[in-house]
Chains A and B, each alone.
Chain A
Amino acid sequence: MSVLDDDTLRAMLADRADRLSPNTAGLVRALCSPCCRC
């Protein structure tokens, strides 16, 4: 029997993933526009 339930695990992972500043999200979004095959 599992001692760890799916909801708790999912909530922990979502909390971890959401710890991203809007600044980084914007920076990464800008990266997806390549200017050349460098």
Chain B
Amino acid sequence: MDPDRVEQARSGDPSAFEALVEPRVGQMTRTAMAILGSEADARDAMQDALITAWRELAALRDPEAFDAWLTRILVNRCKRGLRGVASRRVREVPVDGLVGAGEPSGPDTAAASLERRALERAFERISVDERTLLVLHHLDGRSLAEIASVLKVPEGTAKSRLFAARKSLEKALAREGGR
């Protein structure tokens, strides 16, 4: 983190903002995609998040908190996006034969593939808050302290929410008959 660059961006320098955000766009987009499961929704969430960040950057008090602040904006936009399509419960889960990179390989490919799809369907059934916790921890590799900072909650709360999210996913998976 470069506090000087944050200050420059806060004062309205678009090139400073671009330099701050550009290295983070890849991971942020993957985070949104993992939470939402839809490319169009992830793109909308990213667009809203970047516009909001640019508009509200002047209100950021602690330049060191830029990462957590930007991620918080993104996950809030993901929540908003998902609420708008709440009626679509199961979305864009690949069907047989359409999965490419990242698909399990080896002698148990078919079983692993079925298991992966059951898990993704279960993931689609839990709340966006629960999805967010699991993505921040298991995909982005954020620690409990970092998640607490993003969500603006005590670390103990982040820990209990992550545990509850995991249990919720396991229950949804059991309903899928995957385990």
A residues engaging B (CB < 8 A)?
2-4, 6, 8-21, 24-25, 27-29, 31-38
- Name the interface residues of B95-136: CB closer than 8 Å to any CB of A: 99, 101-104, 115-116, 119-120, 123, 134-135
A29 & B34 in contact (Cβ 8 Å cutoff): no
The size of the chain B interface, using a CB distance under 8 A, is: 45
Q: Give Cα distance in the complex from A34 to B51, angstroms.
A: 8
By beta carbon, the residue of chain A nearest B117 is: A12
A11 to B103, CA, bound (A): 9
Q: A27-B43, A28-B46, A31-B46 are in contact. Are A12 and B119 (CB under 8 A)?
A: yes
Interface of B is mostly: helix
Q: B31–A32 contact, CB under 8 A?
A: no
The interface residues of chain A, by DSSP majority, are classed as: helix
Q: Mark B residues whose CB is within 8 Å of A.
A: 12, 14, 17-18, 21-22, 25-26, 29-31, 33-34, 37, 39, 42-43, 46-47, 50-51, 54-55, 92, 94, 99, 101-104, 115-116, 119-120, 123, 134-135, 138-139, 166, 169-170, 173-174, 179
Known: A8-B116, A9-B134, A12-B116. A17 touches B31 (CB 8 A): yes
- Which of B55, B99, B139 gathers most chain A CB within 10 Å? B139
Q: Are A34's CB and B174's CB within 8 A?
A: no
User: Are A24 and B34 in contact (CB-based, < 8 A)?
Assistant: no
Closest to A6 in B: B138
Least CB distance, B88 to chain A, in whole angstroms: 16
